A and B are shown apart, each in its own frame.
Chain A
Amino acid sequence: MNRREAINRVAWIFGGTIIGGQLFLEGCTRPASTTDVAGLFEKDQMDFLGDIADTILPATSSPGAKEAGVGEFIPVMIRDCYTEEDQKIFVEGLNKLEESANKKYQKNFQQLSAEERTALLVEIDAEQNEYYATKKEEEPNHYFRMIKQITLLGFFTSELGATKALRYNPIPGRYDGDYPYKKGDKAWA
Chain B
Amino acid sequence: MAENTYDAIVIGSGISGGWAAKELTEKGLKTIVLERGWNVEHIKDYQNNTKDPWEFPHRGGRTQEMIENYPVLKRDYPLNEKNLKFWVNEQESPYTEVKRFDWYRGYQVGGRSLTWGRQSYRWSDLDFEGNAKDGIAIDWPIRYKDIAPWYSYAERFAGISGNKDGLAVLPDGDFMPPMEMNVVEKHVSARIKEKYKNNRHMIIGRVANITQPHHDRTNCQYQNKCWLGCNFGGYFSSNSATLPAAAKTGNLTVRPFSIVTRILYDKDTKKATGVEIMDAETNQTYTYHAKVIFVCASAFNSTWVLMNSATDVWEGGLGSSSGELGHNVMDHHFRLGASGRIEGYEDKYYYGSRPNGIYIPRFQNVGDDKRDYLRGFGYQGSASRSGWSRNIAELNIGGEFKDALSEPGDWSIGITAFGEILPDHDNKITLDKEKKDKWGLPVLSMDCELKENELKMRKDMTAEAKEMLESAGAVDVNTWDSGYYFGQGIHEMGTARMGLDPKTSVLNKHNQVWDALNVFVTDGACMTSAAAVNPSLTYMALTARAVDYAVSELKKQNL
A81 within 8 A of B: yes
Contact of B226 among A2, A17, A28 (CB under 8 A): A2
Question: Contacts A60-B399, A159-B54, A165-B402 given: A2-B62 contact, CB under 8 Å?
Answer: no
Q: Are A76 and B57 in contact (CB under 8 A)?
A: yes
6 intermolecular pairs with C-beta atoms under 8 Å apart: A2-B356, A157-B54, A173-B352, A174-B222, A179-B348, A187-B406
B residues bordering A, Cβ < 8 Å?
A: 52-54, 57-65, 67-68, 74-78, 117-119, 179-183, 185-186, 221-227, 335, 346-357, 380-382, 385, 387-389, 391, 396-399, 401-403, 405-408, 414, 416, 480, 482
A118 within 8 A of B: yes
CA distance A28 to B482 in the complex (A): 20
Q: Are A2 and B64 in contact (CB under 8 A)?
A: no
Across-interface contacts of A76 in B (CB, < 8 A): 57-58
Question: Contacts A81-B63, A157-B54, A180-B347 given: A2-B355 contact, CB under 8 Å?
Answer: yes
Q: Are A118 and B398 in contact (CB under 8 A)?
A: yes
Which residues 15-64 in A have Cβ within 8 Å of B in the complex? 17, 24-29, 31-32, 55-62, 64
A125 within 8 A of B: yes
Across-interface contacts of A24 in B (CB, < 8 A): 61-62
Across-interface contacts of B401 in A (CB, < 8 A): 56-57
The SS class assigned to the B binding surface is: loop
CA distance A154 to B382 in the complex (A): 26
Q: Are A81 and B406 in contact (CB under 8 A)?
A: no
A residues bordering B, Cβ < 8 Å?
A: 1-14, 17, 24-29, 31-32, 55-62, 64, 76-77, 80-83, 118, 121-122, 125-126, 129, 152-154, 156-159, 162, 165-166, 168, 170-189
Q: Are A176 and B380 in contact (CB under 8 A)?
A: no
19 extra A-B contacts, CB within 8 A, seeds A1-B225, A31-B68, A185-B407 = A3-B380, A5-B224, A11-B482, A14-B61, A26-B75, A27-B74, A55-B397, A61-B403, A80-B63, A118-B397, A129-B396, A153-B389, A165-B402, A170-B223, A172-B221, A175-B179, A175-B350, A175-B352, A177-B354
Nearest 8 Cβ contacts at the A-B interface = A27-B67, A177-B182, A172-B352, A175-B352, A181-B349, A6-B77, A176-B351, A32-B64
Across-interface contacts of B347 in A (CB, < 8 A): 180-182
Q: Which residue of A is nearest B358, CB measured?
A: A4
Q: Are A180 and B349 in contact (CB under 8 A)?
A: yes
Q: Are B382 and A4 in contact (CB under 8 A)?
A: yes
CA distance A31 to B69 in the complex (A): 11
Q: Are B407 and A187 in contact (CB under 8 A)?
A: yes
CA distance A172 to B387 in the complex (A): 18
Q: Are A156 and B54 in contact (CB under 8 A)?
A: no
Q: How far is the CB of B207 from chain A (nearest CB, A)?
A: 8
Q: How far is the CB of A26 from chain B (nearest CB, A)?
A: 7
Q: Are B391 and A179 in contact (CB under 8 A)?
A: no
CA distance A78 to B224 in the complex (A): 28
Across-interface contacts of A178 in B (CB, < 8 A): 182-183, 348, 350
Across-interface contacts of B61 in A (CB, < 8 A): 14, 24, 77, 81, 153
